Amino acid sequence: MGGAIVPPGPRARRAVFRACPSRRPTPAAKVVSVHTSATPPISLFEKREELRRILESKHFANSPKKTRFLEFVAEQSFLGNGDKLNEYLIGVEVYDRGVDFNPQRDPIVRVQAHEIRRILKKYYEEDGQGALIRIDLPSGHYVPIFVRSALEEASPASIPGAQVSPDAQPSNRLHFAFTVSLGILCVVFASLLAVSRWSNGHTQSRIQPGTLPDGLEWFWHPFLPPADAPLITIPNHPLLRAAHDGDSPQTLAGGHEIPKADLPEFRDTIHFRELKRFLFVPSLTDFTSVGETLGVVSLCKMFSSVGQPCRVQQSRLVNLEEIKGDNAILLGGNQAWSGRVFLNVEGFHFQSGVILNRSPQPGEQAVYKPEFDSVTNQLTRDYAVVLMLPNERKEKRVLLIYGIYTQGSQAAIEYLTNPERMAELRKALLDRSPDHKTIPPYFQLLLTTTVENSVPGKSSLVALRIISN
């Protein structure tokens, strides 16, 4: 996760031209003379369309991070942020490396850029043979270059300002007509081939949903087809919200007033200017945790990629019996029913805003607390507990994802949908399994994340516990 980038000036692109070849040497007096400064510019619409075609191709379909990488650098170049792109920025924004990311020690960006160049080359050798515009990621750089393919390069007669010697016109006209005709045929055939391939691929994708990368499938397979779609619950935490003129008299009558002078933090908000007084009313229905909500978007996107519907419900409308009888993903914790069945005596426990570790292993702490900046008092580190547990029927699962703060929940979901992070978790679980070959079906994880400006950064595994069958 990360913030927006201040747009700098656009990066200049190099023009590419090719003169029409002559069939035999031409006398000096008959040389074709071309005077031009640039090829026709490539519009933003054309660039976005070519980017879309590439990202929807089979070469990027199962590579969410590579897709995010190319999409991020392309969009930043469209916004004029090309000279801001570097290893550090990509590592933080795309690979969640956090503010302490050191490109010299962690080569993830360079390695992935090399892979993207290889995939782009393969794409244009296969599906993109007929592409009129090509995307290139020059070696050693992270600003994508858009160029017109040979079929789109202009001939001298089509370039404004081109001057052709009179003696050379008949021969050149014939040669130009032949070249243009051949070029048009190539474009038509290439377009038909591209449309055919796209149509076949699109039809197949509707008939046969894709599969998750191996780094994710091992964890999520209990929730994937043919299993029923899991019930995802978003927490409804009780809170005091600001009352307004749209509230009923009964709601306003139950409010608690705080003088505006006692809340200087709100001075720059619209509430401070619009509300005559600060009256706060209790609510159980109006608020949904931000981090959990953003996490649901990631979960639903992942499930939709394999044809699994996304069932989402607010926790206050879900009862314990519904959860016990189905696959369920519970977000945010602190519900009336969340601690009644699914606590593990040997594992990690929430209590009063901290995580207790009842049986610390070497290198672990007995208590994990969130951390705050000593000057700004902003959250700088959060923790989350993830529990993969059996339901009443063993083929069903309950997955709990609880952050101390909403940032912890969001970071945990991002961790669980990141193939690279999950490959590391798979290895850690195998190392802890009795035979080192079978992944334990039930376990607990303790994760941590850095937080900057209320946005979670890189998350990492702190500890894990295997839960007995």
- Indicate the pTM of the whole model: 0.55
CA–CA dist 414, 421 (Å, integer): 9
227 with 269, same domain: the answer is no
Name the domain count of the chain. Answer: 3
68 with 87, same domain: the answer is yes
451 assigned to some structural domain: yes
Q: Are 70 and 136 in contact (CB under 8 A)?
A: no
161 with 279, same domain: the answer is no
430 assigned to some structural domain: yes
195 with 262, same domain: the answer is no
257 with 153, same domain: the answer is no
230 with 176, same domain: the answer is no
9 assigned to some structural domain: no
Domain that holds residue 340: 220-235+289-466
226 with 300, same domain: the answer is yes
179 with 40, same domain: the answer is yes
**From the CB of residue 416, how many other CB atoms can be counted at a distance below 10 Å?**
25
5 assigned to some structural domain: no
Each residue's pLDDT expressed in tens, for the chain with a length of 469 residues: 333 333 333 333 333 223 333 333 333 333 333 334 456 688 888 888 899 889 988 888 888 889 999 999 998 988 888 888 999 999 998 998 888 899 988 999 999 999 999 999 999 998 888 888 899 999 888 999 999 876 554 444 333 343 433 443 444 444 444 444 545 444 444 544 454 454 444 444 343 457 888 889 999 999 999 999 999 988 887 788 888 888 888 888 989 999 988 888 787 777 777 888 899 998 877 766 888 989 999 999 999 999 999 999 888 888 777 787 789 999 986 565 555 545 555 678 887 889 999 889 999 999 999 999 888 888 999 999 999 988 877 778 999 999 999 999 999 999 999 999 999 999 999 999 989 999 999 999 999 999 998 899 989 999 999 988 6
426 with 297, same domain: the answer is yes
50 with 84, same domain: the answer is yes
202 with 59, same domain: the answer is yes
355 with 458, same domain: the answer is yes
23 assigned to some structural domain: no
